[in-house]
Each structure stands twice: as structure tokens, then as C-alpha cells.
Amino acid sequence: MLTKKQWLECLDKMDDMYPDAHCELVHENPFELTIATLLSAQCTDVLVNKVTKTLFQKYKKPEDYLAVPLVELEQDIRSIGLYRAKAKNIQKLCQRLLEVYNGEIPDQREELVTLPGVGRKTANVVLSVAFGVPAMAVDTHVERVTKRLGLCRWKDSVLQVEETIMKKTPIERWNKAHHQLIFFGRYHCKSQRPGCHACPLFDVCREGQKRFKKGLVEQ
């Protein structure tokens, strides 16, 4: 398992690779970010941005999503996976925003997770990106990278991964590290082709060393 010192050195190298890592979901305010993040579940940011480019022109505020029949909203996001469930959650989310939060996205995790379709990961993204609150959202890239490196155990739950990263990372680095882990997983340490042969973290990477011993990596 990685020591804290090794982990911070890994983050430093990710910082060198992706100094400008950022949220790639296009949005203009916390409400749009929340909707975009909800839509991004089991879907790429590229596809979400393609859909929200027109979606956010049509729907500006919670009332707009409630002013159309559910079937119309479903058609507007049809190209996104699980679009029926997501459309239903969007309308329920908007209804709760109006009834409880005066139409505004709350800036507390405990309140965010009460919104339909918003789990801990989505809440952490909104807290971090929209409000600048230190948070660590664990998506598939973050989980894959930390487990491959050996910061976390393969059997760890998403919550355990989140807790481990936060424990071993200075709080002032959480938000930036979150995006750099995503960029590293999305563009370098990919699911099928990890890029071990040209990885600056290879020497300390548990999975990279395992692949090398199996003859799967040329150095």
C-alpha cells in the first residue's frame, strides 16, 4: 500500500501532468451543475455537454422543468442513458427545490443528498465546484486510479475510498486533487489501456508492477 509520502508525490506528478484539471461539465451556475452531474451518471461528460447545450437554453430554472410534461423532458435527454429515471428525478428535484429551498441549490451536503437523484458523489461535486467547499467526489476514474496505485484496497467501498483519500490528502488539496485524479484516469490510466509504459507513477504503482511482472508492460 502507498505511504502518505508516496501518495503526495503521486499527486505532485499528476499536478505536473494536469495543472489545469477542471470540471468538464459545462455549466453557468450551481443549478445547471447539479442537473449536469445528475445526468452524467453512467454517461460521459462529452455526451452530457452535447445534451445540455440545448437543454440549458430551454430550461433556465426549476419552474421550467416542471412546466412541461415528463414525456417531453424525457425526449429532450433521450440520448443519455437511463433517461426516463433521470427525467423523473429532475422534475422531483425541481419540485423539492421550490418547496424547501426557495428554488436555490443548497450548499450543505446533508441538504443536497435529500434532493432526488443526488447521491453523495453528486453532492460532493456540487460542493467542490459550485461552492468551493473542500470535498472529494469519487467517480469511476478516482476509484480505479487509487486502487491501481495501491492507495486503497481493491475491496474498499466508494465511501472507504473517499475517506482514505481525504485522510491522506491535505484538505486544501482536495478539490484540485479530485479533478487531477479524474484527468489522470480519463486520459492516461484508462480502464482498458492504462499507459503503464509511459507513466511517471509506474515505480510506485501496485497494478503497474503487477502488469510488468506478467509481461504486459514494456519498459
pLDDT at 101 over 60: yes
**pLDDT value of position 215:** 83
Task: Give the pLDDT confidence of 179-188 residue by residue, as tens digits.
Answer: 999 999 999 9
Catalytic residues: 121, 139
pLDDT at 169 over 60: yes
**pLDDT value of position 217:** 73
Q: Which of 40, 9, 10, 13 is nearest to 24 (CA)?
A: 40
Q: Which of 141, 142, 112, 138 is nearest to 127 (CA)?
A: 112
Give percent of the chain with pLDDT exceeding 70: 99
- Classify residue 130 by its DSSP letter: I
**pLDDT value of position 218:** 61
pLDDT at 136 over 70: yes
**pLDDT value of position 48:** 98
**pLDDT value of position 32:** 98
pLDDT at 219 over 60: no
